[in-house]
Amino acid sequence: FMLVASLTAPLWRPYEVAAQDLGNRLALPSAEHWLGTDPLGRDLLSRIFSAGAEPLLAAAVTVLVAFGIGLPLALVAAERGRRVERVISRVTEVFLALPATILLLAVIGVIGVRTYVIMAILGALISAAVYRVMLGVAQSVRRRLYVDAARVNGLGSLRVNLVHVLPSMATVVAVQAAQLYGIGLLIIAGLAFLGFGPAEPAPSWGFMIQDASSYVFNAPWLLVPTGLVLALTVVAANELADAIAGKASVAAAPRRRKRPPARAVVAAEAHAAPADPRAILEVRDLDVAVDDGPALVTGVSFSLQPGRVLGLVGESGCGKTMTARSLMGLLPDGVSVSGGSILWQGRELVGLTERELGAVRGREIAMISQEPMVALDPMFSIAYQLTQPLRRIRGVGRAEARTIAAELLQQVGIVDAERVLGSYPHQLSGGMAQRVAIALALTGQPELLIADEPTTALDVTVQAEILSLLRVLVRDTGLSVILVSHDLGVVADICDDVAVMYAGQVVESGTAERVLDDPTHPYTMALLGANPHVPDGEPVPLRLACIPGTVPPPGSWPTGCRFAGRCQFAQETCTRPFAALPAHGDGSVLCVRVAEVHDAGIRWGAEHVGAETAPDAGVPAEPVVEQPVATTGGTR
């Protein structure tokens, strides 16, 4: 509004800026003068908006000059390395040390009151501060892998900066520019207040405020319109910065996360069978959805007994991580539990407030992430990151917390605990950092540990060490573990129970031995068939088995079996809704043709191992390596 009203003021203002009405001096707002008049009877509304064009445009000049100098210097320094960065930084530090106000006054004394030139010089001085801010952002962006990939692909320096680096810096640039714009407005008004603005009768916000200050006792209203317009304009500039950053935008307010209290289903409604009295955790008909968007997880049910390890298995996009994070109330913004029940030791977790969940997180349920360097803060030492939760959760002193921290590190297999305590995350290897992350999860003595693909980022040797460590923790402490993993070898190695997920559903569950040795769902068979391990004595196939197609995204799940589009056993009956069937003892399977598929897989596997024809159960004859789904039941 200020921009439009100020730039178009000559077209609509009711009075000329110099038109005087001495008989109506210092008038209060009226129908003739909406904001009143000044000491010479001039209309305040006309003068305020006529004076707005110059500061609004001059502040933009400051922003353009500051970023036009500071941003390219930051990009060059971030790209060229430490030597160039040092030279540019030393030069900009000289500009930071210059007294900007005194320099501006000196320039005014030489060239006179030329607002746009003065604000351009101010932009050049401020460019040093812009450079310091943008340098850190540019260096962070250039360390990202996609920037390295662009350089490997042969993109030149200019294109890398324009196409990859600058777009990643756009939010920071916009926020800093909006804030600098507000500062420029205040500086212009301040100079005019001191008398270094447009000469009378040309209006300026600073002079109008200075003039009004002389009448603050006998005509206090005179200060209100101009002061309020200047204040609101600066606030608007900063509000724009907040909106760009996504922190305080009015338009974004409806989308801001407001965790609704999800409904907890009654156990009798969720399952006809009674709840497992041995279970420490029982999840029933869990639904997770995007607020006002599609469902990500639907109807997930499983239970976990003390001292056992449950594996959540499936491809990316199947809902494993969302299910695991929902147990601790750590879902991303805009995602929430929309239905179902999460019973932890008989206590319902769905619908608890953040404060109530805080009493569970870390103390009773803990989590280790896929990437340990994300879980460890690079700004703090390992000792600080371990002792702080120990002091907060266990209520021990500093010395005792450090002793316990050293014991935890030794418990997770770190021999030189004191050296590691004095180290920072970047000084540790990947395997060592993962051990520290596990120790961090154990600081609250939890009874359940959620491990979200804890070995994915590690090499095979370190992966085996971490799995061995988890087995020892389960054996020695009675810890229960939920392991999220893509690797069926890891699941077979450590898990007692398995829940296979596909497109937000549990399609097969049971003990690990029964599910992996005798799968009944085609998706589980396909996963096992795609596992690149060849049994001893069998020839290596010419082509590795794979599952055709991809997991359907949320919002486009088909009716009935969600795997039907990729399953070679699918028939018309699979496209209609159906209930899960019991399997593997206490487990279940979500397949309407489970008996036919299972029998066909076993019969064909026993009779045609190594043959190049597929089973007859409604499946076209194709080579084994081309259609692994039909062959895995027998080959396993």
Q: Which domains does the chain show, CATH number per domain?
A: 54-207 (1.10.3720.10), 259-364+450-511 (3.40.50.300), 372-445 (no CATH), 518-635 (no CATH)
Beta strands 309-313 and 480-485 are parallel
- Can you tell me the distance from the alpha carbon of 165 to that of 139, in angstroms, rounded to the nearest whole number? 9
Residue 56, CB half-sphere, CA atoms under 13 Å: how many?
20
Report the pLDDT value the prediction gives residue 115, as an integer from 0 to 100: 92
Share of the chain above pLDDT 70, in %: 89
DSSP conformation letters of 603-626: HHHHH-TT-S---SSS-----TTT
DSSP tag of 361: B
pLDDT for 361-378, tens place per residue? 888 999 887 777 777 888
243 near 256, Cβ under 8 Å?
no
Report pLDDT for 377: 83
- Token representation of residue 475: 């054996």
List C-alpha distances in Å: 364 to 367, 435, 450, 451: 10, 20, 11, 14
Residues above pLDDT 90, as percent of the chain: 46
- The region of weakest confidence among 130-134, 191-195, 486-490, 506-510 is 486-490
pTM for this model (two decimals): 0.65
Q: What is the pLDDT of residue 137?
A: 92
Tell me the CA end-to-end span of the chain in Å, nearest whole number.
71
Please state whether beta strands 480-485 and 448-452 pair in parallel, antiparallel, or not at all (unpaired). Answer: parallel
Would you say residue 288 has pLDDT above 90?
A: yes
Distance CA 564, CA 571 (A): 8
- Coil, helix or strand for 311? strand
pLDDT band per the 50, 70, 90 thresholds, residue 52: very high
Residue-level pLDDT at 598: 65
Residue 414 burial (CB < 10 Å; 0-12/13-18/19+)? buried
Per-residue pLDDT tens digits for 574-628: 888 888 889 888 899 999 888 777 666 544 333 333 333 333 333 333 333 333 3
Report the C-alpha gap between 533 and 540 in whole angstroms: 9
What band does 450 get if pLDDT is binned at 50, 70 and 90?
Answer: very high
Which pLDDT value is given to residue 292? 82
Rounded CA-CA distance 580/575 in Å is 14
- 270 or 528: whose pLDDT is higher? 528
pLDDT reading at 636 higher than 50: no
| Amino acid 258: pLDDT | 46
For residues 636 and 117, what is the distance between their CA atoms, to the nearest angstrom?
80
pLDDT digits (tens, 9 = 90+) for 240-253: 877 876 653 333 33
Is residue 70 within a helix (H) or strand (E), and if so which, with residue range? helix 53-80
- 51: pLDDT strictly greater than 90: yes
The overall average pLDDT reported for the chain is 84
In 10 A of CB 227, how many CB atoms? 16
Burial pattern 253-266, b for ≥16 Cβ within 10 A else e, equals eeeeeebeebebbe
Which pLDDT score, from 0 to 100, does residue 625 have?
Answer: 36
pLDDT in tens, 534-548: 777 778 777 777 888
Output the DSSP codes for 465-534: HHHHHHHHHHHHH--EEEEEES-HHHHHHH-SEEEEEETTEEEEEEEHHHHHHS--SHHHHHHHHTS---
**What does the pLDDT look like over 349-360, one tens digit per residue?**
998 888 888 888
**CA 319 to the chain's CA centroid:** 17
Mean pLDDT score, 179-196 = 92
H or E segment and range at residue 283: strand 281-290
Distance in angstroms (rounded) separating the CA atoms of residues 34 and 46 = 10
Q: Please, are residues 323 and 297 in contact by the beta-carbon 8 Å criterion?
A: yes
Q: How far is CA 601 from CA 515, 524, 542, 609, in A?
A: 14, 12, 22, 11
Residue 305: predicted pLDDT? 92
The confidence band for 466, taking pLDDT boundaries of 50, 70 and 90, is confident
Both tokens of residue 38?
A: 């000044």
